[in-house]
Every structure is written in C-alpha cells, then in structure tokens.
Amino acid sequence: MAAQKWELPVAFYFQVKIGNEEFAFKEVSGLSTEMETESIAEGGVNDYVHLLPKQIKHGNLVLKRALMPVKRNDVVWIKKILEGDFSVAIQPRDVIVNLLGNDGSPIYTWTCTRAYPVKWEVDTLDAEKNSVLIETLELAYTTIKRT
C-alpha cells in the first residue's frame, strides 16, 4: 500500500458557513472539545486517585471580522437574538468551518451544531489607531464534529 501524500495545512485559508450562507471572517477560534473528569479517592490507596469521565464540553466558537452593515442576513439573525426580548424563539443554525487545501477544497471540516450568538463585541474605538474596526461574535453550540 502506497503512503498517502499529506501536506501541512495552513491556518489562513478557511471558509465559514452559517446555515447555508458563506461569510468572511479574519479569525476563527474555539474549535475545542474537552472531557470533564471526576476524581475518586480509593480508601487505603495513597499514591493515585481514579479519574472517571463525566461529560464532554465545548468552548464557544469565536469569529472575528470587520464590522458589517446592519442589514446583512447574518447580522439580522444576531440582532434578533441578542437585541430581542425572548418573545421569539431562538433559531439556532449549524456553523461549518472548512480548512481549505491549495485547490480550494476542504481538507478538514468542523461542524458546530445548533449554534446561536451569546456575545457580540466591537473593538475599542481609538482616535489614535489607524486600523479596521473589528467585531467579535461568540456562539454557543451543542456538538462539534471534525471530518
């Protein structure tokens, strides 16, 4: 069997889809999974404790980009949730992050299911700073799958 050719992936060539729409972001973080454990001490055993698995938890997905116009579809969705009064049910969406290869096809995919915004933040406004104004969107999600 011949060895598969594998190239080191680059972190700057990626794509983000929220629902069925693609959106541009400058940075994505929070693609993480962690197993919580519980320590159990056994009577008479003093050199170790048992670590038992409890549950899986995920960090929030954090997306950063230039501040976008208010009428865009993704911004409307965020505003409905974060500026709403909970009179309308939250409409979670799946978020897909694709790490792309040289040819533009996905080489890794992370699917965050049932995501919804929990925080929206704009960078500091600073008269001495000459840079693009960045907004940060933080999403909670139910599960993450990597393919």
- Amino acid letter, 112: C
Run of H or E including 77: helix 73-82
The token pair that represents 126 in the structure block: 């600073």
The token pair that represents 47 in the structure block: 């050199």
Residue 18 phi, psi dihedral angles, 5° rounding: -115, 115
- pLDDT tens, position by position, 20-56: 888 889 999 999 999 999 998 888 888 889 899 999 9
Chain centre distance of CA 46: 41
Quick one: average pLDDT of 60-76?
A: 84
- Amino acid letter, 34: E
Give me the domains of the chain, ranges plus CATH numbers: 14-32+58-146 (2.30.110.20)
Does residue 5 carry a pLDDT above 80?
no
- pLDDT tens, position by position, 93-110: 999 999 988 888 898 999
